[in-house]
Amino acid sequence: MMKDRILVAIDGSKNSLEALDEAVKLAMAAPSKLYLVNVQPSFHTFHTRLFIGEEMIKEYQTELYDKVMDSAVQHLEGRDIEYVAFMKVGDPVYQISQLAKDLKVKYIVMGSRGMGLIRGTVLGSVSTGVLHETHVPVLIIPQKNKS
């Protein structure tokens, strides 16, 4: 029997870990494999490249990705869940939507509010963008404590 595929957007926020919990519930209800994705900013601007080398940018992106995924993987410890983790670089809406299409996922699960570069600008701008960009069901987990 082929397992369903569930894509989970992880950004290191508490809300994205709550989304991961919901994805685990879905995965346990029906045989599913989780695909965790973290999207890093590209930092490919003219000024950035003048002062910071490509290798240093990649190291920084990898360091940020590792920190975020370590917390997600720790969150999954002790659970019998099959998963694969990905790092993507660029626009989060495009990267999440494209990966969902490439992997032929059944669902996308994500938090309504994460830790974007500019916090608090537009509530759920990434989740709303993914909702409009993709053709698969998107489960958006609201932020529990809006303080």
**In the chain, how long is the greatest CA-to-CA distance?**
52
In this prediction, residue 121 carries a pLDDT of 46
Q: What is the pTM of this model?
A: 0.87
Structure tokens at 52: 């910071």
Q: Which residues of the chain have pLDDT under 50?
A: 117-123
Alpha carbons 110 and 23: distance in angstroms, whole number: 9
Q: Report the residue count for the chain.
A: 147
The pLDDT of residue 123 is 47
Each residue's pLDDT tens digit, 118-130: 444 444 589 889 9
Domain ranges of the chain: 4-141
Tokens representing 129 are: 């963008």
pLDDT at 27: 95
Q: Are 93 and 130 in contact (CB under 8 A)?
A: yes
Amino acid letter, residue 68: V
Q: Does domain 4-141 have CATH number 3.10.20.810?
A: no
